Amino acid sequence: MESVQVQVRELPAGEVGRRHFELTTVELPDPGPGQVLVRNTWTSVDPGLRLRLRADAPQGYFPAFPPGSAMDGVFAVGVVEESQADGFPVGSTVWHSYGWRSHAVVDSGEVAMNGIASLRRLDVDAVPAHAYLGPLGAMGLTAYAGLHVIDALDDTGTIWVSAGAGAVGNLVCQIAKLSGLRVVASAGSDEKVAWLLDEVGVDAAFNWRSRPLSESLQQAAPEGLGLCFDSVGGTHLEAALHALNDNGRIALCGSISEYEGAAAGPRNLFLATSKNLTLRGFRGSAHVPLLDEMQQRLGCWLAEGRLVHRESIYEGLESAPTALADMLAGRTTGKTLVRL
């Protein structure tokens, strides 16, 4: 069986583009005992891939992608075509960690990406398969776990969600709102702001590109912030430190503003000391034990029509590099996916 895969041609120095990747065809071995052959139907496009396209991938993170080989450790959903593994019959839908390729042989015993992407059979009776790359998968877990680690789910104050129209951000907004918080979200276009207000259902939203962040936050949350879920870092984290009230708490989900360039602060970190703030970094994949609880809660909200999900879909494996570049540049809304 042949598999077509995207591999890294060269590491990007600045903005990532198609020229940094190439498609190759490889021969796959037959699945052995405990293994399945999966035909991928969807693959995920994540900001973290850009961090792994650097020779200096951050310490403790998933490993850098070596040029000239397949990109292992990327979320994908597919259908089992051959099986030698109990519990994974031919025709079943699964998730696993061998995305950005057409087919993969996956070992059912492998612990993948800290356990969040180990081979798992999916129930697709009530939801489309790609929901497991969004609200019912790692995105949902990251949103849920990040709110959990700053004790936001029992709070009733105001939370600012940066990159609020993105894959993780829109779920954070919705979970926070459904849990009783007042939600302020920011995004990089007026169209995204309208979506956040009209469909995601946040209390206030603003376009971070159109005015200084401090002014927008002052208008959206004159009472100050109790909580922040930050995925952007740099100027956004700086604005959060400024706007948080005493004893405020920040979930540090990511710092996407720095992934393709130099780090830009924050320059006012002392405010964390003076205001007794809690800055809590976390990885969704460190909270796999919350996965079932998250899927149950978000699954109910989806079934009841109380949780919306939106995807920016690119067609065909060859479009994956463009999808990554577009997502990093803010040209996508909701979860960015490639359909194979």
Question: What is the residue-wise DSSP string for 257-319?
Answer: GGTTS-----S-THHHHHTT-EEEE--GGGGGGGHHHHHHHHHHHHHTT-S---EEEEESGGG
Span 167-196, contacts to ligand NAP by CB under 6 A: 167-169, 187-189, 192
Among 52, 217, 332, 337, binds ligand NAP (CB under 6 A): 332
Q: In whole angstroms, how close is the CB of 138 to ligand NAP at the nearest point?
A: 6
The number of C-alpha atoms within 13 Å of 208 and in the hemisphere containing its C-beta is: 21
Span 299-318, contacts to ligand NAP by CB under 6 A: none
> How far, in Å, are 46, 237, 247, 266, 316 from residue 263 at the CA level?
19, 12, 26, 9, 33
The number of C-alpha atoms within 13 Å of 201 and in the hemisphere containing its C-beta is: 15
Query: The tokens of 214 are what?
Result: 């401090």
Which region, judged by CB under 6 A, interacts with ligand NAP, from 87-95, 125-133, 297-305, 323-331?
323-331
Q: Is 166 in the site for ligand NAP (CB under 6 A)?
A: yes
CA 159 to CA 68: how far, in whole Å? 43
Q: Is 256 in the site for ligand NAP (CB under 6 A)?
A: yes
Q: Is 254 in the site for ligand NAP (CB under 6 A)?
A: yes
Which region, judged by CB under 6 A, interacts with ligand NAP, from 11-19, 43-51, 128-136, 300-308?
43-51
Of all residues in the shown chain, the one whose CB is closest to ligand NAP is 166
The residue with tokens 């996965």 is 291
Q: Is 142 in the site for ligand NAP (CB under 6 A)?
A: yes
Among 104, 136, 163, 221, binds ligand NAP (CB under 6 A): 163
Q: Is 232 in the site for ligand NAP (CB under 6 A)?
A: yes
Q: Are 101 and 7 in contact (CB under 8 A)?
A: no
Which region, judged by CB under 6 A, interacts with ligand NAP, from 118-126, 163-171, 221-229, 237-245?
163-171
Q: Is 327 in the site for ligand NAP (CB under 6 A)?
A: yes
CA 44 to CA 309: how far, in whole Å? 15
CA 337 to CA 76: how far, in whole Å? 10
Residues that bind ligand NAP (CB under 6 A): 46-48, 142, 163, 165-169, 187-189, 192, 231-232, 253-254, 256-257, 282-285, 327-328, 330, 332, 336
